[in-house]
Amino acid sequence: MGEGGIMAAIAAIAVYLVLSIAILIVMVVSYWKIYVKAGKPGWAAIVPIYNIIVLLEVIKKPTWWLVLCIIPCTLPVALVLIALEFVKVFGKPSWHAALMIFFGVIYAPYIAFSDAKYVG
């Protein structure tokens, strides 16, 4: 690999890192606002594992569902069930769960910054 190839690789890595950090910031800010809308502490969005526990509280599911999120073979099912309950507690139709699953980076800010109300 020549010098140009190395520079291109470094540039690609830099772009990837910047985009990843930007997405991370958007998601943290979005979930912070979502948790505040649901009457939970916003800082919970930045604490690993606890953020899932708070999300389960928001969607009114028992804490043992965290186990479903940790076991790899049950994770896809858990994500679908969590998405269905999430859109329900924010008063959205169930088909919005597909938006949350496939376009979460766009859907979370939509819920956070729209007039969507937590209906529990």
Does some domain include residue 71?
yes
The DSSP call for residue 59 is: T
**In total, how many domains does the chain have?**
1
Does some domain include residue 13?
yes
Does some domain include residue 91?
yes
Q: How do residues 52-107 score in pLDDT, each as one tens digit?
A: 999 999 999 999 999 998 999 999 999 999 999 999 999 999 999 999 999 999 99
Asked whether the predicted pLDDT for residue 120 surpasses 80, the reply is: no
Q: pTM of this prediction?
A: 0.85
Q: Could you please report the per-residue DSSP string of 10-49?
A: HHHHHHHHHHHHHHHHHHHHHHHHHHHHTTS-GGGGGSTT
